[in-house]
């Protein structure tokens, strides 16, 4: 079941960066600025926020069977993504991305809840497997971007077809595990019950620090790599090298290994403890990677891959902490609310990078992303203390 769900999550999340992977073709079509290209990614984030907020308010993740919610959302997201091929204007493309993001709110949080129904003691690695799968899925459009003579239709059609396959996998074969979460009637006060839970607030504080960095990194690391290659070679055509697309894919996809490692370590030493250590490593790279800009491609690539490994390695631990912090009947709403707040933050942090590049260049633009993880470490300090006490020898 975990393998089935991971495959479905990987296929469904191909929708996320489909437009970003097709950014060169969309830029040629509408003469887009870098800020407008970033707007395509921000629109998905905003749509996801709207979708998760609505889902949390209506308790959808705790009322609707997760299998049906996942499948319906994936199919609707596939249709919204296809609108990119039909809509004639940039504003229409933004609307398409907002709708796609809203649909993905029914794919990502429910999948984490679904995985948790099969695991208790090893829940950290189970949810980490789902996050690893979605990481590869989100990265996949960048791999398609490396194909020669890529048309606009290629990443769009491929992403929508993947999402439909994800819906079929879950709808036809998924079954909840022995630790399924009970449901209860709709309650307007369920969000309030979640927010009043201290451990949920602490875990979400750490998650916000993590999210302040993550999606801005994922959105702009391809542009950073392309600009660094141009600066190193002194040739503008270096930005079009197929290896840029391959490396961009790899820097995101390597996060799958980070997720699995983080899941194993979280189950072993404590979820808050490993999340704090991962954020320290990720933030350190954010502070220093600009020093390698325009230098050896091997150095830039190695730092980008290391950042990609650590930037997502802690993500599943925040979700796992939430499943253990709230009452069982509120797990779906708690996860959805947490992700909604995190993705709302990303709509701001994604847009921070283009003006910083204009102001200080790529050498210093990513420094600001290191601030989020440091604040996340501070937010988790109470949970870290609890884990140390709980795991201390008697």
Give 90-110 pLDDT, tens digit per residue.
Answer: 999 999 999 999 999 999 888
Per-residue pLDDT band for 389 (boundaries 50, 70, 90) equals confident
Q: What is the pLDDT of residue 148?
A: 60
Per-residue pLDDT band for 376 (boundaries 50, 70, 90) equals very high
Q: Hey, how many other C-beta atoms are within 10 angstroms of the C-beta on 134?
A: 29
At 147, phi and psi to the nearest 5? -70, 145
pTM for this prediction = 0.81
Q: What is the pLDDT of residue 149?
A: 63
Per-residue pLDDT band for 152 (boundaries 50, 70, 90) equals confident
Average pLDDT, the chain: 89
Q: Hey, how many other C-beta atoms are within 10 angstroms of the C-beta on 1?
A: 15
Q: What is the mean pLDDT of residues 231-238?
A: 80
Residue range 280-313, pLDDT digits in tens = 999 999 999 999 999 988 999 999 999 999 999 9
| Rounded Cα gap, residues 324 and 341, in angstroms | 19
Per-residue pLDDT band for 53 (boundaries 50, 70, 90) equals confident
Structure-model confidence comparison of residues 290 and 63, the more confident one: 290
Which among 163, 160, 12, 33 has a CA at the least distance from the CA of 86?
160
Q: Residue 394 pLDDT more than 60?
A: no
Cα separations in angstroms, 318 against 76, 113, 124, 152, 259? 28, 13, 9, 36, 12
Q: What is the pLDDT of residue 180?
A: 78
Q: What is the pLDDT of residue 253?
A: 86
Q: Which residues are within 8 A (CB) of 108 and not within 5 positions of it... i.e. 6 or more apart?
A: 9, 13, 48, 134, 339
Which among 47, 25, 38, 28 has a CA at the least distance from the CA of 97?
47
The DSSP secondary structure of 217-280, one letter per residue, reads: HHHHHHHHHHHHHHHHHT-GGGGG-HHHHHHHHHHHHTHHHHHHHHHHHHHHH-HHHHHHHHHH
- In CATH terms, 2-173+195-391 corresponds, of 1.20.1250.20, 3.40.50.1400, 3.20.20.70, 2.40.10.170, to 1.20.1250.20
- Can you list the positions of beta strands (E) in the chain? none
Q: What is the pLDDT of residue 150?
A: 65
Q: Residue 323 pLDDT more than 90?
A: no
Q: Residue 192 pLDDT more than 80?
A: yes
Reduce the DSSP state of residue 314 to 3 states and report it.
coil
Q: Give the start-to-end residue ranges of the domains of the chain.
A: 2-173+195-391
Q: Residue 275 pLDDT more than 80?
A: yes
Range name among 81-85, 188-192, 201-205, 210-214 with the lowest pLDDT average: 188-192
What percent of the chain clears pLDDT 90, i.e. is strictly above it?
A: 52
Q: Hey, how many other C-beta atoms are within 10 angstroms of the C-beta on 177?
A: 15
Q: What is the pLDDT of residue 339?
A: 86
Residue range 5-35, pLDDT digits in tens = 999 999 999 998 888 878 878 888 888 887 7
Q: What is the pLDDT of residue 188?
A: 66
Q: What is the pLDDT of residue 145?
A: 64
Q: What is the mean pLDDT of residues 36-47?
A: 86
Contact assessment for residue 30 and residue 90, using Cβ atoms and an 8 Å cutoff? yes
The DSSP secondary structure of 129-149, one letter per residue, reads: HHHHHHHHHHHHHHHHHTSTT
Which among 245, 383, 376, 381 has a CA at the least distance from the CA of 310?
376
Structure-model confidence comparison of residues 155 and 257, the more confident one: 257
Cα separations in angstroms, 282 against 249, 276, 308, 386? 18, 10, 8, 23
Contact assessment for residue 249 and residue 138, using Cβ atoms and an 8 Å cutoff? no
Q: What is the pLDDT of residue 286?
A: 96
Q: Residue 191 pLDDT more than 70?
A: yes
Reduce the DSSP state of residue 192 to 3 states and report it.
helix
């Amino acid at each position: 079941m975990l393998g089935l769900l991971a495959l479905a999550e990987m296929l469904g999340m191909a929708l996320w960066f489909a437009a970003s992977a097709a950014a060169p073709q969309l830029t040629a079509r509408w003469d887009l600025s870098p800020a407008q290209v970033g707007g395509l990614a921000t629109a998905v984030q905003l749509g996801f926020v709207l979708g998760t907020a609505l889902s949390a308010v209506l308790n959808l993740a705790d009322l609707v069977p997760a299998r049906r919610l996942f499948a319906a959302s994936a199919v609707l997201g596939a249709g919204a993504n296809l609108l990119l091929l039909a809509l004639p204007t940039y504003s229409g493309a933004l609307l398409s991305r907002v709708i796609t993001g809203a649909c993905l709110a029914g794919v990502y949080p429910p999948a984490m809840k679904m995985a948790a129904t099969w695991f208790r003691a090893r829940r950290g690695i189970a949810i980490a497997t789902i996050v690893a799968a979605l990481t590869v899925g989100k990265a996949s459009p960048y791999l398609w971007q490396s194909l020669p003579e890529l048309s606009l239709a290629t990443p769009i059609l491929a992403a929508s077809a993947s999402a439909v396959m994800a819906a079929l996998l879950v709808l036809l074969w998924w079954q909840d595990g022995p630790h399924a979460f009970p449901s209860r009637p709709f309650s307007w006060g369920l969000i309030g019950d979640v927010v009043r839970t201290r451990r949920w607030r602490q875990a979400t504080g750490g998650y916000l620090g993590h999210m302040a960095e993550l999606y801005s990194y994922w959105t702009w690391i391809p542009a950073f790599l392309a600009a660094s290659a141009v600066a190193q070679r002194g040739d503008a055509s270096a930005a079009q090298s197929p290896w840029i697309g391959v490396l961009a894919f790899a820097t995101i996809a390597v996060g799958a290994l980070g997720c699995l490692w983080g899941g194993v370590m979280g189950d072993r030493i404590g979820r808050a403890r490993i999340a704090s250590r991962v954020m320290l490593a990720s933030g350190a790279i954010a502070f220093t990677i600009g020093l390698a800009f325009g230098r050896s491609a091997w150095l830039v690539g190695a730092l980008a891959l290391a950042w990609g490994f650590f930037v997502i390695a802690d993500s599943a631990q925040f979700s796992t902490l939430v499943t253990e912090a709230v009452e069982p009947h509120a797990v779906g709403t708690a996860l959805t609310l947490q992700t909604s707040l995190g993705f709302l933050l990303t709509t701001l942090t994604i847009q921070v990078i283009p003006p910083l590049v204009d102001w200080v260049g790529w050498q210093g633009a990513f420094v600001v992303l290191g601030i989020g993880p440091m604040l996340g470490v501070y937010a988790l300090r109470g949970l870290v203390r609890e884990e140390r006490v709980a795991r201390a020898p008697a």
